[in-house]
Amino acid sequence: MKSERTVLVRINPIRCRGHAICSLLFSEGIELDQWGYGRVAEETAEGRRSIRRAYRAAAACPNGAVEVVQLGPSGEQQPPGKPPLHVLREQ
């Protein structure tokens, strides 16, 4: 199913305090600006590996600044919830 393979990643700039953990865990999607705050480089993440890393980054942020939202079949945003289990289970 396509819907499970694309997620939207965003950073709440008010919550971000520049811990930079997200960019370590999800380096392909989040880069750091010159002050060390996270900035979304790639708005969507595709593929299981990438999506898993995005969810990890969101879970690791001490301030909960990183949000990962699933996209529906036609690109609409699904209500936030737990990440799909199969994404987390696979190593």
Q: Which of 2, 24, 33, 63 binds another protein (CB under 8 A)?
A: 33
Q: Which of 7, 9, 16, 68 binds another protein (CB under 8 A)?
A: 16
At 57, which amino acid appears? A
Q: Which is nearer to another protein, 27 or 77 (CB)?
A: 77
Rounded Cα distance, 65 and 15, in Å:
5
Q: Is 69 among the residues that bind another protein (CB under 8 A)?
A: yes
Q: Is 10 among the residues that bind another protein (CB under 8 A)?
A: yes
State the minimum distance, in angstroms, from the CB of residue 82 to another protein. 17
Spatial neighbors of 8 by CB under 8 A, at least 6 apart, are 43, 44, 68, 69, 70, 71, 77
Q: Which residue has the tokens 């010159």?
A: 34
